[in-house]
Amino acid sequence: MSDLTEKFDALEAQLASQHTVISNDLTAILAALGAPPPGDITTLDDIAAQLTGISNQLASIASANGTFYTALLDVTGLISTNLETLSNNNSLNSSRLLQAIYATACQCPTPTDLLTPPIDVTPTSLADEAKCRRIQFYLSLFGNWLTKIANYGAAAGFVTGESIYQLLAIVVANAGIVATGAEVGAAAGPPGIVVGAVVGLIILAISTFGGAALNDYAAQFNAPTMQSALLTALFAATNADEGYTAFKSTILANMDDIPAQII
């Protein structure tokens, strides 16, 4: 038996020595291939323990997040409640402030009356009043006619004798004028030779200054200053010749030559 024991011991020592040599050779081969040196062996129990630790950490994070969002929701609710309270308080305070101001407001003193303006006691005769009204009616009618001619010429770039007659007819109809007897000719418009001259002047103005100039001419004629000057001049006239002279003189004194000649 002693011989077998010795033999087995020798065999065991030899196997252990060979195992060490083989293990060293394998380590050298792995190192030559770039593999990391062998360490402690990781078992399935180790992996399970690590996964269990990760799961516990995730559960802790989820619990902490739940607590945080619950607290955040509570704070948001408090902020909303405070804002609503502030809004209600401000509205109530404003209402009470207005009521206090209204309750303590005193009636303002009545301002001193303005001086009575001087009044012309000279009576105006009915004839003068009618004459003034007729002049104003004529200036309004003529001004509307000029405005329509200006708008038409500015838009179309030209004006014809027929368009002047048609525009006058529109103005006359809008003014409610009904001509009878000898008045028909006057309401129908100026003579053809006059219209021809006017058309020539208008075309000259359009070609020289552009169609927009016609609107400027009409605006100048209808301006309050011009209307007042024409009313004063025509009212001072006592017959048709004086009225024509007063009309022409006023136009020439307040407008340039081309628009004055057209009008």
Could you read off the pLDDT tens digit of each residue along the chain, which spans 263 residues? 557 777 777 878 888 888 888 878 777 787 777 666 556 666 777 778 888 888 888 888 888 888 888 888 888 888 888 888 888 888 877 777 777 666 655 555 555 665 666 565 566 566 778 888 889 998 998 888 889 888 888 888 778 888 888 888 888 888 887 766 656 556 566 666 677 777 888 887 887 888 788 888 889 999 999 999 999 999 999 898 999 999 999 999 998 888 888 88
Tokens matching residue 40: 């402690």
Tokens matching residue 146: 């000029």
**Amino acid identity for residue 250 in this structure:** T
pLDDT tens digits for range 6-34? 777 787 888 888 888 887 877 778 777 76
Distance between CA atoms of 242 and 134, rounded to whole angstroms?
16
CB environment 1-33: b (16+ within 10 A), e (fewer): eeeeeeeeeeeeeeeeeeeeeeeeeeeeeeeee
Q: Which residue has the tokens 């005769």?
A: 125
Tokens matching residue 208: 């020289």
Distance between CA atoms of 164 and 199, rounded to whole angstroms?
8
**CA separation, residue 66 to residues 61, 70, 199 (Å):** 9, 6, 91
Tell me what pLDDT residue 186 has. 60
Alpha helices in the chain (DSSP H): 2-33, 44-104, 126-156, 161-174, 183-188, 192-209, 212-222, 224-236, 240-254, 257-262
Please count the other Cβ atoms lying within 10 Å of the Cβ belonging to residue 250: 18
**Amino acid identity for residue 22 in this structure:** I
Asked if 218 and 147 touch (Cβ cutoff 8 Å), the reply is yes
Give this prediction's pTM: 0.48
Tell me what pLDDT residue 35 has. 64
Tell me what pLDDT residue 173 has. 82
Tell me what pLDDT residue 162 has. 83
Q: What angle do CA 83, 87, 90 make, to 5 degrees?
A: 135
* Average pLDDT along the chain: 79
Distance between CA atoms of 24 and 37, rounded to whole angstroms?
11
**Amino acid identity for residue 128 in this structure:** D
Distance between CA atoms of 217 and 151, rounded to whole angstroms?
11
Tell me what pLDDT residue 148 has. 87
